[in-house]
A and B are shown apart, each in its own frame.
Chain A
Amino acid sequence: DAGITQSPRHKVTETGTPVTLRCHQTENHRYMYWYRQDPGHGLRLIHYSYGVKDTDKGEVSDGYSVSRSKTEDFLLTLESATSSQTSVYFCAISESGRISSGNTIYFGEGSWLTVV
Chain B
Amino acid sequence: DAKTTQPTSMDCAEGRAANLPCNHSTISGNEYVYWYRQIHSQGPQYIIHGLKNNETNEMASLIITEDRKSSTLILPHATLRDTAVYYCIVRDYGQNFVFGPGTRLSVLP
Interface residues of A (CB under 8 A from B): 33, 35, 42-45, 48, 58, 90, 92, 97-99, 102-110
Contacts and interface: CB of A to CB of B under 8 A. Distances in A.
A48 B98 CA distance: 13
B43 A42 contact: no
B42 A106 contact: no
Contacts, number: 46
Contacts of A104: 34, 46, 49
Interface stretch (B9-17, B66-74, B75-83, B99-107): B99-107
Say what secondary structure dominates the interface of chain B. loop
Contacts of A107: 43-45
B93 A90 contact: no
Say what secondary structure dominates the interface of chain A. strand
A110 B46 contact: no
Given A92-B97, A97-B93, A102-B50, 6 more contacts: A42-B100, A45-B96, A102-B51, A103-B93, A104-B46, A110-B43
A25 B30 CA distance: 29
Contact of A42 (B46, B51, B102): B102
15 contacts: A42-B100, A58-B96, A92-B43, A92-B97, A99-B93, A102-B49, A102-B93, A106-B46, A107-B43, A107-B44, A107-B45, A109-B42, A109-B43, A110-B41, A110-B43
B102 to A, nearest CB: 7
A43 B97 CA distance: 10
Contacts of A90: 43-44
Nearest to B93: A99
B39 to A, nearest CB: 11
